[in-house]
Structure 1
Amino acid sequence: MRFVQTEERVMLQDTLRRFFADASGDVWADLAELGVIGALFSEDHGGFGGHGFDLAVVFEELGRADLSLPLIDNALVPGRLMLAAGGDVETLIAGTERLAFAHAETAARYDLNWVETRVEGNTLSGEKTVVVGAEEANALIVSARHSGKASDEVGIGLWRVEKDAPGLTLHGYHLAQGGRAAEVTLSNTPGSLLMHDAYTAIADANAAGTLALAAETLGAMEASLDMTREYLGTRKQFGRPIGSFQALAHRLVDLMVEMEQARSAVILGAAHLSDPAQERDRVLAATKNILGRAGRLVAEDTIQMHGGIGMTEEYALGRFAKRIIMADHRFGDMDHHMERFIALSA
């Protein structure tokens, strides 16, 4: 089957590629002005997209561009949570507000239902880890438990916590793949209740984030292979381009096959994003597993075929490789998703 994008998505892709080629200044505001953030949400909610393929187009181009922009963490995931809670995303689409979702905890690993942060009345106490984009956000959406034990799916709610709320502490740091995250501590911190029973909403938002990250990883893989193909065609040894040597040519072809498998996995994931939860999660588990495996191979082999230059800070390939490798550890690594796929397929 041959997959062809709609005319609107091709136009969006072209717009993004041209924009990212010369992006500078306040990129977030420029994306909002172009309407790109609106592509993450449906027309019913003030956007013009919101489907799986819309997300795939936007984040694939973001991955190709080598930009550390927390669009998943400050717009897509919190926006889906706000809509599930009955709110709106007009300020997110306009770029006037950015939100960050504080959910992951140290003991949770990749379990969405593991929440130890507690709420009493409307004050929250607990710790959240690796909250990407927390420092740039205007407010946090924090998951906390109002009943049950740490591993229960029930008893999880969502609260909005303002950045200047008393008892809120952020410890920011740089991420290996670029961008910044923060460790968040809440100590009797006041918040506004958004949603009382939030597990399903969190799982839905996590699914959208998983697809977006897979598409972003695919874009980084494409850029890495483009750089490698160009390098093998220009770097000469023994008077001829090293890409003409059979061993390197075969390795490049193998990587291209892996990348096309990854592309098919992203397309499949995009097509199933709106499916019932079990089928959606089963397909996305396969997508994330394939991207993790293929991405690691592409990152390692493109660096090796470049030699020492591939590891230098000034050369973009090293940054792409970090981006690809570290993406496997967000929203569940390949081993986690292999186990999940088996369980959901049983």
Structure 2
Amino acid sequence: MIFIFLFLLINNLFSLHSDLSLRGSAGLIKHILLFLALVTFFERNSIHRNVFYKIILYTVLAVSIDTLVQYIFGTSITGSIVQDSHGYRLSGPFGTEYVVGAYLSKLLYIGFIAICLNTQKKIYIFLYLIWIVGIIFLTNERSAFYISILSLFGLLVLFRASIRFKFIIICVVISLGFILLMSNPGFKKKYIDHTMHEFGFGEKLHQVNDKKKFKYSSFLDSRYGAHFLTSYEIFKDHYIIGSGIKTFRKVCENKKYKNIKSKYSFARCNTHPHNFYLEILSEFGGVFFISFIIFIGTMLIRLFQKYIKDKNPITVASICLYFVLFWPIQTTGSLFSTFNGVFYFIGLAIIFLSNNMKLLKK
């Protein structure tokens, strides 16, 4: 912990925009304190642990119902209206912020833990998972859905259940996915056609405005690809301690980064690179990045060591939660933002606690 605060100090001192880095550091410290508070609270008050998980579960279910209502009727219970201008993406209770898929995916397995702690019936556990993953599909958030469905299949591999039960669940998931794809042509366009184009299978015409349009057949030629390439170039220029926390939004404007090999280089800038590994790499540099990889790698090793010993469903859920949070090949929100960062540090606390099973016993 001392290392983090020391590095933040050095990072701020050498930041290209110290005012932004100072605010970013304050936000990161707030998240670290949240992590420490959760771990300390549950270590000393394990009786409240189950209550916390239940609150997360009920919140996830409430948000999923609100999102389904929005999909069916065009307006959610909380009053959010579907906007065609955003590709018919759903927002649930989050108004004009299209983050409901990411929200559900990051809290999915905390709700799973709550169910496991209160029932041994596998059918309830998997009905919950299929329900939430199905709602995530409806949101049209590809990254959130792909990471959720992959983690679900990973859970099926690790979860202690009969082959017959697992086969039935897989058949249900595949059948439901097929029905949803056939029910709305927009889903096929979003989840299959768009993804195939980004992997180089065919070309897609992108209209920027009335005068500018181009074809692209690679992820690197997309908006996210431009962010990724720009962040990597920033890292190459500041490879030891980075450009400074939260400085991507300003440093990306440098004209030298206009030459990145992306047709979307003109839109390379954003508040963050949309991948927190690249965010850490470009804004914190190689020293902190390597330390971070060692830290999360150690957590994963300990999780699998615990799984090998006990095959506990809580450990399985923690492994899946780890996968959702830290799988590197995905677009993500900023690790240092108020909304997105909270989920990572809550998730880290849950994973940390799962390595000490006395905290999870009733």
State TM-score, norm by structure 1: 0.30
Bigger share in strand:
1
State TM-score, norm by structure 2: 0.30
State the structure with bigger RCO (CA 8 A, min sep 6), 1 or 2: 2
